A and B are shown apart, each in its own frame.
Chain A
Amino acid sequence: MTLWLILAVNSVTLGGLLFLLSAGFSLIFGLMRIPNLTHGSMFMLGAYLGVTCIALGLGFWPAALLAGLGVALFGAVIERFVLRRLVGAELAQVLVTLGLSFMVADVCLMQWGGDPIAVETPPVLRGATAVFGLAFPTYRLAIILIAAVIAAALWLLIDRTRLGAMIRAAVDDPAMARVVGIRVSHLFTVVFALGAGLAGFAGVIGGPILSVYPGLDQDMLPLALVVVILGGTGRLLGSLVGSFVVGFLYNFGQALFPELAYVVLFLPMLVVLVLRPQGLFGRVTL
Chain B
Amino acid sequence: MRRVALAIALALLATVPYWLGNSYYINVATQMLIYAVLALGLNVLVGYAGLVTLGHAGLFGVAAYAGATLLNAGHGQIVAAIGALLATLAATAMFAVLALRGTGLGFVMITVALGQIVWGIAYRWISLTNGDNGISIGTRPSPFGLSLVSADALYWATLVVFLIAVAAMAIFVASPFGAAVRGTRDQPRRMTALGYNVWLTRFLAFLFSGFWSGVAGLLYLYYNQFVSPQTVALSASAEALLMVIAGGTATLLGPIAGAVLVIVMKDIASAYIERWNFVLGAIFVVIVIFMPEGLVPGSVRLWRWAIGHLRTQPTPVADERA
Asked if A and B form a direct contact in the complex, defined as CB atoms under 8 angstroms apart, the reply is yes
Interface of A with B (CB < 8 Å)?
33, 35, 37, 82, 85-86, 89-92, 94-96, 98-107, 109-110, 218, 221-222, 225-226, 229, 258-263, 265-266, 269-270, 273-274, 277, 285-286
The answer to whether A98 touches B284, judged by C-beta atoms less than 8 angstroms apart, is yes
Chain B residues near A104 (CB, 8 Å)?
Answer: 281
- Smallest CB-CB separation from B102: which chain A residue? A286
CA distance A189 to B102 in the complex (A): 27
Proximity bits, B227-242, A CB within 8 Å = 1, else 0: 0000001110010010
Taking the nearest CB of chain A, how far is it from the CB of B39, in angstroms? 16
CB contact list, B270-312 vs A, under 8 A: 275, 277-278, 280-285, 288-289, 292
The answer to whether A102 touches B106, judged by C-beta atoms less than 8 angstroms apart, is no
- Smallest CB-CB separation from A34: which chain B residue? B105
Taking the nearest CB of chain B, how far is it from the CB of A33, in angstroms? 7
The answer to whether A35 touches B277, judged by C-beta atoms less than 8 angstroms apart, is no
Looking at A101, A109, A265, A286, the one whose CB has the most chain B CB atoms below 10 A away is A286
CB contact list, B89-119 vs A, under 8 A: 97-98, 101-106, 108-110, 112-113, 116-117, 119
The answer to whether B284 touches A96, judged by C-beta atoms less than 8 angstroms apart, is yes
Proximity bits, B251-286, A CB within 8 Å = 1, else 0: 000000000000000000000000101101111110
> Residues of B within 8 Å of A, CB-based: how many?
44
Chain B residues near A225 (CB, 8 Å)?
Answer: 109, 112-113, 116
- Evaluate whether A285 and B292 lie within 8 angstroms (CB atoms) in the complex, with A102-B238, A222-B113 already known: no
CA distance A96 to B285 in the complex (A): 5
Chain B residues near A94 (CB, 8 Å)?
Answer: 52, 105, 108
- Evaluate whether A286 and B277 lie within 8 angstroms (CB atoms) in the complex, with A102-B238, A270-B98, A274-B98 already known: no
The answer to whether A103 touches B98, judged by C-beta atoms less than 8 angstroms apart, is no
- Evaluate whether A96 and B123 lie within 8 angstroms (CB atoms) in the complex, with A33-B105, A103-B281, A229-B113 already known: no
B245: interface (CB < 8 Å) = yes
> B282 contacts which of A99, A269, A273 (Cβ < 8 Å)?
A99
> B126 contacts which of A99, A229, A259, A265 (Cβ < 8 Å)?
A259
CA distance A91 to B104 in the complex (A): 8
Known: A96-B289, A262-B121. 9 other contacts (CB 8 A): A92-B289, A95-B288, A98-B54, A98-B284, A105-B277, A110-B275, A222-B112, A226-B113, A286-B103
| Pairs of residues from A and B, 4 with the lowest C-beta to C-beta distance, nearest first | A262-B120, A286-B106, A99-B284, A102-B281
Chain B residues near A221 (CB, 8 Å)?
Answer: 234
CA distance A103 to B234 in the complex (A): 14
The answer to whether B124 touches A35, judged by C-beta atoms less than 8 angstroms apart, is no
Taking the nearest CB of chain A, how far is it from the CB of B281, in angstroms? 3
Taking the nearest CB of chain B, how far is it from the CB of A81, in angstroms? 10
- Evaluate whether A258 and B104 lie within 8 angstroms (CB atoms) in the complex, with A98-B238, A222-B116 already known: no
B125: interface (CB < 8 Å) = yes
The answer to whether A273 touches B101, judged by C-beta atoms less than 8 angstroms apart, is yes
The answer to whether A106 touches B277, judged by C-beta atoms less than 8 angstroms apart, is yes
Chain B residues near A106 (CB, 8 Å)?
Answer: 275, 277-278, 281
> A82 contacts which of B105, B109, B113, B285 (Cβ < 8 Å)?
B285
CA distance A90 to B103 in the complex (A): 12
The answer to whether A273 touches B110, judged by C-beta atoms less than 8 angstroms apart, is yes
Chain A residues near B106 (CB, 8 Å)?
Answer: 277, 285-286
